Amino acid sequence: MAASIIEVSRVKLIRETDGLLVFAGALHPQLTVGAIPFGGFLLSIILAACEEAVKETPLHDAIHLTAYFLQACQVGPCEVHVKFLKKGKAFHNLEAVLIQNGTTRITAHLIFGRLGPAFLDPATPGSVTTLTPATPLYRRTPICHPSETTTFDFRRGINIRDILKKGADSRFAERNKRKANTPNAGTNPDMNGILEYGGYYQFVNPTDELTQITIPIIADLHRSTPELLKGIFTPPEGMFNWYPTMVLQIEFKHKIPKGPSYSRNMAAIYSQSRFIAEGRHDVSVEVWTAPPGAPGEPADVVEDSWREKMVCVAVATQMSLSMTAEANLRRGRQVVDAPKL
């Protein structure tokens, strides 16, 4: 059975010393790319620890997360060390580090506060501080309906394939190819040299759902720039096929809406990639709610206004590298010691 992301992200407080909270967790083998734990899952572990740290305070919602990946992690036990940098009335600032074998692998800064609900009433007027659906500039989901997507498997080596079902919006692949075949596409305002990707991800385990804990995993499921370019150019022999994240930043926008207009266990993403130099590339990702249904399967009913009801719940940006599968496997062979209780 597919592992439950929410279950394997759980951590346990094992000690507290001078304001430092130490949590024990484990990096699950199903949430890996090759031999290395998936970057979004690592942030879910960190976020779970920080949620535990703030649970006795009135500020329970993650607002912002920035993480620096210093060294590759391995499957096995880990610790997350959390401390408050500032406790305020509106925001808490926390520092968290993920540690294995006594070595800091990830450092993160998180801000917690109170997220408000999305403004779904079309009669709610917009303002200079808040765009609402009544405002022409309010952004709608750019992704097609899940029933219109094309389902296909994750590429080889992405073991998270057993946990999520995927459906891609094929319009973006077609648009990328059209840009690649248009002279001076980078100077064309309608083309602008941007590679796009969009689609839906649905959790296989029935206990999983879209929460703040699972958002980092969804946000890290975009297609990397080199992978998008493989659909346009013929890749050379020995082409890079591991794209480790160096920096990942997530801003959480709204509380996740519930109700019959929303899927409990599915989310949509839309990503844009702009630059790549010597394998180092950027990507920005929007995480959206999804309507009921499943990727690539006919829908019983499609609401005429389904698109108007979807909400962007998070925006992520990251910088990643391009490395070989051999480098991934070499780093994944290291043995990890259990945390000291």
Q: Where are the domains of the chain?
A: 5-332
Relative to beta strand 276-277, strand 245-252 is unpaired
Beta-carbon count within 10 A of 308 CB: 14
Q: Give the residue, 126 or 203, on which the prediction is more confident.
A: 203
Residue type, 329: L
The predicted pLDDT at position 332 comes to 57
Beta-carbon count within 10 A of 296 CB: 18
The predicted pLDDT at position 131 comes to 81
Q: Alpha carbon of 60 to those of 23, 69, 92, 196, 264: distances in Å?
A: 18, 25, 9, 33, 21
197/217 Cα distance (integer angstroms): 16
| Domain 5-332 CATH (choose: 1.10.3720.10, 1.10.1060.10, 3.40.50.720, 2.40.160.210) | 2.40.160.210
Full-model pTM: 0.90
Contacts of 298 (CB under 8 A, 6+ apart): 147
Encode pLDDT of 220-268 as tens digits. 988 877 777 776 766 655 555 778 889 999 999 999 999 999 999 999 9
Cβ–Cβ < 8 Å for 27, 78: yes
Encode pLDDT of 98-153 as tens digits. 999 999 999 999 999 999 887 677 677 777 788 877 788 889 999 999 999 999 87
User: How far is residue 294 CA from its own chain's centroid?
Assistant: 19
Contacts of 254 (CB under 8 A, 6+ apart): 115, 116, 117, 118, 311, 312, 313
166/244 Cα distance (integer angstroms): 21
Question: Where are the strands (E) in 34-101, listed by range?
Answer: 36-37, 61-69, 76-87, 92-100
Concatenating the DSSP letter of every residue in 316-332 gives EEEEE--B-HHHHHHHH
